[in-house]
Structure 1
């Protein structure tokens, strides 16, 4: 079960096979999560990045049930895991601030195969 986030970020959506998503691993009481939700989460769905990797929030305590294939365990929140077919491609651990978050996400997205026209 996916928790409802304080900033109103929608719970995980149904995904298509082969879908790319940005999994946002959060937990209650995490001040860095609240900071990310206020600064980025509230606008993420309106960005070009969201078109390529829709946000899929998962509460840390329910992460195992999500069935993701991770390269290593999630130890910190927030953690952002770029996945394709539920397999990890890369991750951002923590929230280093707006500019660094967008830069690091851009680097991850640049590793995706080119989109077909």
Structure 2
């Protein structure tokens, strides 16, 4: 099958105007350009099919009447969304007694509340069982966040430690 193109070449946009004087656009060149364009489109579609990597999240397993959960809410929960850690791993609350959502099915052995788990792309990166107070919670969380695969996230988690 022969393909003939009368449209301007994609290569013409790359070359300067003085370079176009002896430029001959053959059907073969047009075929090559179309194949390159089709390959680039196929590559873009394959990346789109993979979908974006799911961001990390801090999953808090809690229950009604939990005094340590209430203390965490008063000391950290009110500011957490505004922190660098909250940007890296937004908070997701799950009742410890409810059926686990499908995307958290791999998380096992949660028996105490609160339990905090840093979870990303179906993998647990670490957990904090109980609430040890804010002086211990932040460094423990930063240590877990620094183990995330994204170097940007790991660098951001170390910001608070440097302050």
Band of TM-score, shorter chain: 0.7 to 0.9
Runs of 5+ consecutive residues of structure 1 not aligned to the other structure = 1-15
Give the C-alpha shift of residue 65 in structure 1: 3.0
| 2:73 maps to 1:41 | no
Counterpart contact for 2:62–2:69, Cα < 8 Å:
yes
Structure 1: 4+ residue segments shifted above 4 A:
none
Q: Distance in 1 between matches of 2:110 and 2:90?
A: 20
The residue aligned with 2:67 is: 31
- What is the aligned residue count? 100
- 1:31-83: CA deviation from partner (whole Å, max 9, x where unpaired): 0000000000011000000111011111112252353112x310100000000
Higher relative contact order (CA 8 A, sep 6+): 1
Give the C-alpha shift of residue 17 in structure 1: 4.3
**2:123 aligned to 87, 108, 113, which one?**
87
Q: Distance in 2 between matches of 1:97 and 1:43?
A: 14
Greater alpha carbon shift after TM alignment, 83-92 vs 104-113: 83-92
Runs of 5+ consecutive residues of structure 2 not aligned to the other structure = 1-51, 154-163
Map 1:33-112 to 2 at 5 A: 33-68=69-104, 69-70=106-107, 72-112=108-148
Q: Distance in 1 between matches of 2:89 and 2:66?
A: 23
Q: Which has the larger radius of gyration?
A: 2
CA RMSD of aligned residues (A): 1.7
More helix by share: 2
Q: Distance in 2 between matches of 1:98 and 1:90?
A: 17
Call closer, same or farther: CA 1:35–1:63 in 2, change over 3 Å.
farther
Call closer, same or farther: CA 1:76–1:46 in 2, change over 3 Å.
same
